[in-house]
Amino acid sequence: MNLLFVIKSLAVRGGGAERVLADLTAELAARGHVVTIATFDAAGVAPFYAFAPGVKLLRLGIGDASRKTRSLDLLRRIRGLSELLLQLRPDAAIGFMHSAYVPLAVAARGTGVPAVGSEHTVYSHYRGKFFDRLSLRLAARHLAAITATSRSMAEGFPAAFRQRVRVIANPVASGGARSSDVEGGAAKTLLAVGRLEDEKDHATLVSAFAHVADRFSDWRLRIVGEGSLRETLQRQVEQSGLAERIELAGSTPGITKEYASADVFVMPSKYESFGLACAEALAAGLPAIGFADCAGTNELIKPGRNGLLVEGVDRVAALANGLSELMASAALRRRLGAAGPASVAAFRLPAIASSWEELLREHIGKSQCAA
């Protein structure tokens, strides 16, 4: 197949969808497909993640891809994508995230190219964002399909176009060799990975760790990610008096090393579409802890099998209690961590790439029949 993927930018530091795109396109190219990725980045902008040599990157340079899309830029992107579709004539085009699949859906009209929207956040994320919600509904009319990364995420879409939604999970890389020992050692690490944004709720994690830090002096907290709340979280860390034990480490393209050197993975999110970082941590053999009411996370963590799910009106207290249980027992960490890789085996890259191939071939056939 000749495939065109579209994404707003590849320069985003630590973006989960961008990393999924890198892994998926590498696998598809290795299978013999012709894979092109178009972004709205300016010429010369380097992607945060490395992409396979067989994947062609096109930087269209339409608007400022680092900022919220303006109406004029949206129109220019629709026109630019329409011209690109007519030039490349791909068998299918896939827009990664709302900022790409909305203009792609409009651009693909009349070209004979089936367009697929790949959504990576829950529909409730658009609550209160009238224009984004409206544009999604309008775009959905012209999309051959929309992919969601989990069952709970799919169920959150409006009934009007839920029938177009196909669940295809994010691919999870195999864990690789662990350099840490979940039984401990002189120093042990709680690891969280995610953007420093409100929905990830790192503030609750910092407060929960502060509640138990005195009882577990050999533990530290490491938060990997970047975002708009860095300064706010840094002030919270300093006010806690634990600046030497809580680190806001920033983003890194070498995330597997983080999992390999941690002892417990913590997912404090309020909601997740899938929970890629959590799945990767489980694949690496880390016991994981998260909230029972967090969609996405509660599909990955199986209480008592590969991790713990906590709940309660007081989120800080609930998480602190769960952390204490894991931090206090090397045997529990070892048992839960050992079950992690098998629990996410269904999300390995080859299986996910095959699901994408099946979806795309299905709609390419429909397009050809209709032509």
| The residue type at 70 | R
Structural domain includes residue 178 = no
Cα→Cα distances 251→84, 94, 225, 226, 230, Å: 32, 26, 4, 6, 12
User: Token pair of 254, please?
Assistant: 């070498």
What does the mean pLDDT of the chain come to? 92
144 and 216 assigned to the same domain:
no
| Structure confidence at residue 294 (pLDDT) | 92
Task: Say what the pLDDT of residue 179 is.
Answer: 52
Co-location of 43 and 122 in the same domain = yes
Whether residues 119 and 147 fall in one domain: yes
Q: Is residue 181 a part of any domain in this protein?
A: no
Note the pLDDT of residue 72. Answer: 93
pLDDT recorded at residue 125: 80
Residues 197 and 341 in one domain: yes
> What are the beta bridge partners of residue 148?
167
In CATH, what number is assigned to the domain containing residue 37?
Answer: 3.40.50.2000
Residue 173: the pLDDT is 78
pLDDT 10s digits, 63-108: 999 888 888 999 999 999 999 999 999 999 999 999 999 999 999 9
The answer on 356 and 334 residing in a single domain is no
* 15 and 158, same domain (yes or no): yes
Q: Is the pLDDT of residue 370 over 50?
A: no
Q: Inform me whether the pLDDT recorded for 220 exceeds 50.
A: yes
Answer yes or no: do 130 and 248 share one domain. no
Considering the domain architecture, whether residues 52 and 164 belong to the same structural domain is answered as yes
Residues 295 and 250 both lie in one domain: yes
Percent of the chain with pLDDT over 70: 95
Q: Are strands 92-96 and 188-193 parallel, antiparallel or unpaired?
A: unpaired
Average pLDDT, integer, range 134-148: 87
State the average pLDDT over residues 31-45. 96
- The per-residue pLDDT for range 271-293, each reduced to its tens digit, is 998 999 999 999 999 999 999 99
Per-residue pLDDT of 316-358, as tens digits, reads 999 999 999 999 999 999 999 999 999 999 999 999 999 999 9
What pTM was estimated for this model as a whole?
A: 0.87
How many distinct structural domains can be found in the chain? 2
Which residues span the domain enclosing 102?
Answer: 2-171+348-370
pLDDT of residue 94: 98
Tens of pLDDT along 154-184?
A: 888 888 778 889 999 999 976 555 555 555 5
* Per-residue pLDDT, 300: 95
Output the pLDDT for position 187: 86
Which contacts qualify for 236-245: CB closer than 8 Å, 24 or more apart? 236/203, 236/206, 236/207, 237/206, 240/206, 240/207, 240/210, 242/209, 242/210, 242/213, 245/213, 245/219, 245/220, 245/221
Mark whether 222 and 262 lie in a shared domain: yes
pLDDT the model gives residue 180? 53
pLDDT average, residue stretch 8-21: 90
Q: What is the mean pLDDT of residues 296-306?
A: 94
6: closest CA among 48, 58, 52? 58
Partnered with residue 348 across adjacent β-strands are 172
- Same domain assignment for residues 12 and 159: yes
Strand partners, 246: 221
